[in-house]
């Protein structure tokens, strides 16, 4: 009786493993077929045109004419955010020969209006940031105020 139960249990475990293996193989085959279909679909649609930040080579390869603007500000990340907002295709090239390094920003000729608006917003943002007092100066002013108020001595008097 015990041997029969053990035999059935073993048979069930083996069949379960075979079932899992077949199921895994079928799932992988299905996935590979799907990937192949997606790849063929991309080939039918034509080459994918990159948008946003890209290399200079990709930008020139699109054959729409390229213009450039020079930036000396090292915080190029702020410009990246604004350019993405305006949907501009651009490439950034760093010129290390000068100190501080210069950045050349290449963009498509057809994006001229969008790049003008993006640079206008970028410069407004930089001017606004420059006109604000620095945090360290504000902290120093607050520290002076605290020192002045610390001269007064507080006296606690217990009242009963």
Residue pLDDT, tens place only, 9-21: 777 677 777 777 7
Full-model pTM = 0.49
Determine whether domain 56-139 maps to CATH 1.10.260.
no
pLDDT score at 106? 85
Could you state, in order of their start, the residue ranges of all structural domains in the chain? 1-48, 56-139
Average pLDDT, the chain: 79
Contact indicator for 99, 82 with CB cutoff of 8 Å: no
Q: How many residues does the chain have?
A: 160
Q: How confident is the model at residue 97 (pLDDT cuts 50, 70, 90)?
A: confident
Residue 156 tokens read as: 């606690």
pLDDT in tens, 39-70: 888 777 666 666 778 888 888 787 777 878 88
Q: How far apart are CA 76 and CA 102, in angstroms?
A: 10
Q: How confident is the model at residue 109 (pLDDT cuts 50, 70, 90)?
A: low
Is the pLDDT assigned to residue 22 strictly greater than 70?
yes
SS (H, E, C) the chain: CHHHHHHHHHHHHHHHHHHHHHHHHHHHHHHHHHHHHHHHHHHHHCCCCCCCECCHHHHHHCCCCEEEEEECCCCHHHHHHHHHHHCCCEEEEEECCCCCCEEEEEEEHHHHHHHHHHHHHHHHHHHHHHHCCCHHHHHHHHHHHHHHHHCCCCCCCCCC
Is the pLDDT assigned to residue 125 strictly greater than 80?
yes
């Amino acid at each position: 009786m015990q041997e029969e139960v053990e035999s059935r249990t073993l048979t069930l475990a083996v069949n379960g493993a075979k079932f899992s293996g077949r199921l895994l193989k079928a799932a992988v085959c299905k996935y590979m077929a799907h990937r192949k279909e997606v790849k063929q679909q991309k080939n039918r649609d034509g080459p994918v045109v990159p948008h946003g930040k890209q290399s200079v080579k990709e930008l020139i390869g699109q054959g729409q004419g390229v213009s450039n603007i020079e930036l000396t500000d090292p915080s190029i990340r702020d410009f990246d955010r604004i350019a993405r907002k305006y949907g501009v295709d651009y490439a950034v090239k760093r010129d290390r020969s000068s100190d501080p390094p210069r950045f050349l920003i290449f963009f498509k000729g057809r994006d001229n209006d969008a790049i003008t608006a993006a640079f206008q917003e970028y410069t407004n943002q930089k001017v606004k940031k420059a006109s604000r007092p620095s945090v360290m100066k504000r902290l120093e002013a607050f520290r002076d105020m605290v020192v002045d108020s610390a001269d007064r001595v507080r006296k606690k008097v217990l009242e009963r």
